Amino acid sequence: MEYRTLGRTGLRVSAVALGCEGFMNRPEEEVRADFDFAIENGINFLDLYASNPELRSSIGAALAGRREGFVIQGHLCSVWEEGQYLRTRDPEKAQAAFDDLLARLGTDYVDIGMIHYVDAEDDLRKVLDGPILQLALRLRSEGRLRHIGISSHNPAVARQAAGTGLIDVLMFSLNPCYDLLPPSDDVDTLWADESYAQELHNIDPERQRLYEFCEREGVAIDVMKAYGGGDLLSGTNSPFGKPMTPVQCIEYALTRPGVAAVMAGCRSRTEIEAALAWCTATAAQRDYTQALTGLGRFSWEGHCMYCGHCAPCTAGIDIASVNKYYNLTLAQDEVPETVREHYNLLAHHASECIACGRCQSNCPFGVDIVGRMQLAAAKFGY
């Protein structure tokens, strides 16, 4: 298992993590057995947004005696009423549901208190200017949550939230399909057929800005819907017309700036195994470019996807990292110190490019890599 630092929280989390909704309506002993399996394979990070009391209790039983080995992301504003899940902005209901979450998990704190499902700007304002943020801040001061997060499907809203400086972790829907689409406060547009009826080219700039901002500022992203609700795993359902594997979807998400972990929503041992296969997968098995090229209506032409096909570099440059660090400077008048530090630590730098062009012949997206190395060398000074 690969472990990554969860942004400025400093927590070390498994790159492959568990989204727990798939454990719904399963016997407690099955849930514990699957948690045993996940733990044996290095998973130490989970997200629990679901408010179903039986599910919460089952996960609490599965974690009994080993809570300190897990980083738990629990949600504020997800409640259970009249036998079903409900999102609320009522602080009393949110407090009661959070108290219930801690009690059923058998813990007195969660590592990340995730303000649940904020997609619209007016809802974000209601959260930030009203009692919900105050509740989160109070719970943090009491030690009942250690870091504040927010979950969203809208890159514009997520960027505004991250920009407040109050949010340490962002849970965001991310995959190559959604990355093509502009911001919307209607989550249904992400999987609506009509959203993909026209030609779409390159990652939406708002999404790219969000990922790069989070990388620069230390706001960690953990990914939901990496499989697009399963659509990307099906040649019939995928907008691309050909399937991706779980390993390819996870690799795509983990190569985006700012991303620390993928919350794999697993409903069975087989699906946990499919997600964990990323840990031991070969470079060829992780290669998502084969699913993103030759698609006709969709393309990423000229856009560095950090896929690594440019390697090996004749001069030994880690081209994907140089491109990423250069991109992180584009929104700034000066090179941020954290970005410069990461660049400095590279074994070889952009100025060492000999312009042989080998990388460009390897790139499946037609990126002008030699030109990018020249720009990076000018930006960083070497």
In this prediction, the residues of the chain whose per-residue pLDDT falls under 50 are none
Distance CA 187, CA 33 (A): 34
C-alpha span between 54 and 102 (Å, rounded)? 13
Q: What is the pLDDT of residue 23?
A: 86
Please give the pLDDT value at position 25.
Answer: 84
Quick one: pLDDT at residue 338?
A: 86
For the chain, the structural domain boundaries read 1-287, 317-378
User: Tens digit of pLDDT for each residue in 132-173?
Assistant: 999 999 999 999 999 999 999 999 999 999 999 999 999 999
pLDDT at 20: 87
Distances (CA, A) of 112 to 72, 103, 357: 6, 16, 45
Phi, then psi, of 135 in degrees rounded to 5: -65, -45
Stated pTM of the model: 0.91
Residue 206: its pLDDT value, please? Answer: 95
Integer Rg of the chain from CA: 21
Strand-strand pairing, 3-5 and 12-14 = antiparallel
3-state helix, strand, coil in the chain (%, to 5): 45, 15, 40
Distance from C-alpha of 35 to C-alpha of 296, rounded to nearest angstrom: 42
Angle at the Cα of 98 (from 97 to 104), degrees rounded to 5? 85
The CATH number that domain 1-287 falls under is 3.20.20.100
Closest CA to 308 of 328, 287, 291, 329: 287
DSSP secondary structure, 104-124, as one string: HHT-S-EEEEEE----SHHHH
Distance (Å, whole) CA 371 – CA 304: 12
The kind and range of the H/E element at 48 are: strand 45-48
207, 179 Cβ separation under 8 angstroms: yes
Residue 118: its pLDDT value, please?
Answer: 96
Q: What is the pLDDT of residue 373?
A: 94
| 73 CB-contact burial (10 Å; exposed 0-12 / middle 13-18 / buried 19+) | buried
Q: What is the structure's pLDDT at 307?
A: 87
Q: Distance of CA 84 to CAs 50, 51, 152, 183, 259, Å?
A: 10, 8, 21, 29, 31
How many other CB atoms sit within 10 Å of the CB of residue 77? 26
**d(C-alpha 148, C-alpha 9), whole Å:** 10
